[in-house]
Copies of this chain bind each other. A is one copy, B any other.
Amino acid sequence: MAQVKAIGRKLAENAKMINSFLTRELSGQEPESLEKASLHLIKAGGKRLRPYMTIKACEAVGGRAEDAVPFAAAVELLHSFTLVHDDVMDHDDLRRGKPTVHKVYGMPMAILAGDLLFAKVYDIMVNNRPPGMSPERLLECIDKVTEATMILCQGQALDISFPGASDVTVNDYIYMVGAKTSALFRACAQVGALVGGGSDEQVNAIGIFAWDAGVAFQIEDDVLGVTADEETLGKPVGSDLREGKKTLINIHALENATEEQRKLIDRAFGVEDASHEDIEAAVETLEEVGSIAYARSVADEYITRAFKSLNVIPDTPTKEELKALVEFFVKREY
- Cα A31 to Cα B156 in complex, Å, equals 10
A138 at the interface (CB under 8 A from B): yes
Which of B82, B112, B120, B139 contacts A89, CB < 8 Å?
Answer: B112
| Cross-chain contact B126 with A111 (CB below 8 angstroms) | no
| Cross-chain contact A153 with B116 (CB below 8 angstroms) | yes
Within 8 A of B (CB), among A93-129: 107-109, 111-112, 114-116, 118-120, 122-123, 126-127, 129
Q: Contacts A143-B126, A149-B119, A153-B34 hold; do A111 and B112 have CB atoms under 8 A apart?
A: no
- Cα A142 to Cα B124 in complex, Å, equals 11
Q: Contacts A139-B138, A157-B109 hold; do A115 and B30 have CB atoms under 8 A apart?
A: no
Q: Name the residue of chain B whose CB is nearest to the CB of A147.
A: B123
Distance in angstroms from A149 CB to nearest chain B CB is 4
- Cα A158 to Cα B112 in complex, Å, equals 11
A160 at the interface (CB under 8 A from B): yes
- Cα A127 to Cα B127 in complex, Å, equals 20
| Cross-chain contact A150 with B89 (CB below 8 angstroms) | no
A154 at the interface (CB under 8 A from B): yes
A56 at the interface (CB under 8 A from B): no
Count of interface residues, chain A, beta-carbon cutoff 8 Å = 44
A161 at the interface (CB under 8 A from B): yes
Which of B85, B89, B112, B150 contacts A153, CB < 8 Å?
Answer: B112
Distance in angstroms from A36 CB to nearest chain B CB is 10
A146 at the interface (CB under 8 A from B): yes
Residue-wise, chain A 14-43 has the 8 Å CB interface mask toward B (1 for contact) of 000000000000000111011000000000
| Cross-chain contact B30 with A158 (CB below 8 angstroms) | yes
Residues on B with beta carbons closer than 8 Å to the beta carbon of A115: 82, 85, 114, 118, 149, 153
Q: Contacts A29-B154, A115-B118, A153-B119 hold; do A109 and B160 have CB atoms under 8 A apart?
A: yes
| Cross-chain contact B156 with A112 (CB below 8 angstroms) | yes
Q: Name the residue of chain B whose CB is nearest to the CB of A121.
A: B146
Q: Name the residue of chain B whose CB is nearest to the CB of A29.
A: B154
A88 at the interface (CB under 8 A from B): yes
- Cα A21 to Cα B288 in complex, Å, equals 55
Extra contacts, 18 of them, besides A33-B157, A88-B107, A89-B107 (Cβ < 8 A), are: A29-B154, A30-B154, A30-B158, A33-B161, A109-B157, A112-B153, A116-B154, A119-B146, A119-B149, A123-B146, A123-B147, A126-B139, A126-B142, A129-B139, A134-B135, A135-B138, A139-B139, A142-B142
4 nearest A-B residue pairs (beta carbon): A89-B108, A135-B135, A34-B157, A119-B149
26 sample A-B contacts, Cβ–Cβ < 8 Å, listed by A number: A29-B154, A30-B154, A31-B157, A31-B161, A33-B157, A34-B153, A34-B157, A85-B111, A85-B115, A88-B107, A89-B107, A115-B149, A115-B153, A116-B150, A118-B118, A118-B119, A119-B150, A122-B122, A122-B142, A122-B146, A123-B146, A123-B147, A126-B139, A126-B143, A127-B143, A135-B136
